[in-house]
Amino acid sequence: MTRSAADHHLYGDLAPWWPLISAPEEYTEEAATAAAVLNSASIPVHEVLELGSGGGHNAVHLKSRFDLTLVDLSEDMLAMSRRLNPECAHHQGDMRTVRLGREFDAVFVHDAVAYMTTEGDLRQVIETAFAHCRPGGVALFVPDHTAEAFEPVTDHGGSDDPGGRGARYLEWTTDPDPDDTWIQSEYAFLLRDADGSVRVVHETHRTGLFSRPAWLGLLAGADRVEGTLFGNGERTIVRNGPAQRDTSNAGIQCRGVERDHPVRAVAYERHRSAAVRTRAKIVERA
Ligand SMILES: C[S@@+](CC[C@H](N)C(=O)[O-])C[C@H]1O[C@@H](n2cnc3c(N)ncnc32)[C@H](O)[C@@H]1O
């Protein structure tokens, strides 16, 4: 059965397994890539807001560089993140609607943006990011895929802890209908408790898949942005492939209301990045 993001077992009762399913070490390179983009703002970047921060596995790598505020829909995931990142501020909230009443030097939306399955949802997240971003700051979005590059995914991973708990997962992600804006992932989780008992959980997740023009249009159309895009469509979605393109030139730059201090928006596809290829290798070794 497909459940809404708020009802997923993975981010609810299974949250204590998150560090074994998707270990913090797997985020090291991705977080470094994100940090470089966040630091490409035209103002010094100290205060960073992460929307959809999950178990805090990016935050654990970013918190030495930035003063982090973390927002997630799931109290169970926030509880895991608080244990890992007690020095960070945590807030429960929906990335579409949360308003913290303050601004940050940069806003980071990593893989959790995948749970936006309609253009309306995605627009709201982009508006949330801009609403919290200071003039001169950067809003960074890292969708798992874009429609142009999507290929069906089969993946597996997981790890064990020293106390005898272990988790393994199998993932199949397909696009049942290329004409709509969502794809579907079937997950099987095999979970071994410290007492040796094992259970299996199957869960279906529906996540968003948007074309690059849709991303660009939404980024250009966010409320605080007047809509001037710099660069062409190919250059605006940054791929951190082996060539390591210069994100300072390849990002999307939108003129904000304050013309002298545009808020810069950068998006790149997570599954195209060199960091994720490395992560995939780590998963294979586990
Ligand atoms: C794959 S996990 C993120 C993992 C994260 N990158 C980490 O470092 O641990 C996806 C997260 O998105 C969150 N999420 C889904 N929909 C959301 C929404 N509308 N607003 C905020 N968080 C949301 C889930 O609760 C979940 O914690």
**Atom 26 of ligand 1, residue of closest alpha carbon:** 54
Q: Are 111 and 202 in contact (CB under 8 A)?
A: no
- For residue 165, the model assigns a pLDDT of 98
22 CA closest ligand 1 atom index: 9
CA-proximal residue: ligand 1, atom 12 (nearest): 112
Residue 284, helix vs strand vs coil: helix
> To which residue do tokens 């951190």 refer?
240
Q: Name the CATH code of domain 5-147+208-285 (choices 3.40.50.300, 3.40.50.1370, 3.40.50.150, 3.40.50.720).
A: 3.40.50.150
Q: Is any ligand 1 atom within 6 A of the Cβ of residue 26? A: no
Query: What CA–CA distance (Å, rounded) separates 174 from 176?
Result: 6
Q: Write down the pLDDT at residue 83.
A: 98
Per-residue pLDDT at 228: 33
C-alpha 160 to ligand 1 mean position (Å): 23
Q: Are strands 104-109 and 133-141 parallel, antiparallel or unpaired?
A: parallel
pTM given for the model: 0.85
pLDDT bracket for residue 216 (50, 70, 90)? confident
**More confident site: 11 or 41:** 11
Any atom of ligand 1 within 6 Å of the Cβ of 77: yes
The model's pLDDT over 28-60, given as tens digits with 9 standing for 90+, comes to 999 998 999 899 888 999 999 999 999 999 999
Using the predicted structure, report yes or no on whether residue 79 has a pLDDT greater than 70: yes
Q: What is the pLDDT of residue 240?
A: 26
- Inter-residue contact 34 to 108 (CB < 8 Å): yes
Per-residue pLDDT, 230: 32
119-167 per-position pLDDT tens digit: 999 999 998 998 999 988 888 898 898 888 899 999 999 999 999 999 9
Beta pairing, strands 198-208 & 133-141:
unpaired
Burial (CB < 10 A; 0-12, 13-18, 19+), residue 171, is middle
To test the ligand 1 pocket, which listed residue (7, 77, 118) has its Cβ within 8 A of the most ligand atoms? Answer: 77
Q: Examine the pLDDT at 110 and tell me if it is beyond 50.
A: yes
What pLDDT does 271 receive? 66
Q: Which two tokens stand for residue 68?
A: 């982090």
Integer CA distances (angstroms), 169 to 58, 172, 186, 187, in order: 20, 10, 10, 7
* pLDDT above 90: percentage of residues in the chain: 62
Give the model's pLDDT for residue 221.
Answer: 56
Q: How far is the CA of 231 from the centre of ligand 1 (A)?
A: 30
86 alpha carbon to ligand 1 midpoint, in Å? 18
The pLDDT tens digits for 230-279 are: 322 222 322 222 222 333 333 444 433 333 456 777 777 776 544 433 33
Q: If you measure from the C-alpha of residue 259 to the centroid of ligand 1, how many angstroms do you get, rounded to a whole number?
A: 33
Q: Provide the mean pLDDT of the chain.
A: 81
Domain residues of the chain, as ranges?
5-147+208-285, 161-205
**Probe ligand 1: pick from 50, 73, 128, max atoms within 8 Å of CB?**
73
Pairing of strands 153-160, 166-174: antiparallel
Atom of ligand 1 nearest to the CA of 55: 9
Planar angle of CA 89, 92, 97, nearest 5 degrees: 115
**How close is the Cα of 224 to the center of ligand 1, in Å?**
25
Q: What is the mean pLDDT of residues 174-193?
A: 97
Q: What is the pLDDT of residue 238?
A: 28
What is the CB neighbour count within 10 angstroms for residue 25? Answer: 13
Going from the Cα of 80 to the center of ligand 1, the distance in angstroms, rounded, reads 12
Tell me the CA–centroid distance for residue 82 and ligand 1, in Å.
14
Cα of 264 vs centre of ligand 1, distance in Å, is 23
Give the mean model confidence (pLDDT) for residues 210-221. Answer: 77
Give me the pLDDT at residue 5, please. 74
Structure tokens given for 119: 């253009």
Sheet-wide strand order for 182-192:
153-160, 166-174, 182-192, 198-208
Q: Which residue has the higher pLDDT, 227 or 192?
A: 192
Does ligand 1 have an atom closer than 6 angstroms to the CB of 80? no
pLDDT, tens digit (0-9, with 9 covering 90-100), for 254-265: 433 333 456 777
Q: Is the pLDDT of residue 191 over 60?
A: yes
Alpha-carbon distance of 45 to 147, in angstroms, equals 31
Tell me if 185 CB under 6 Å of ligand 1: no
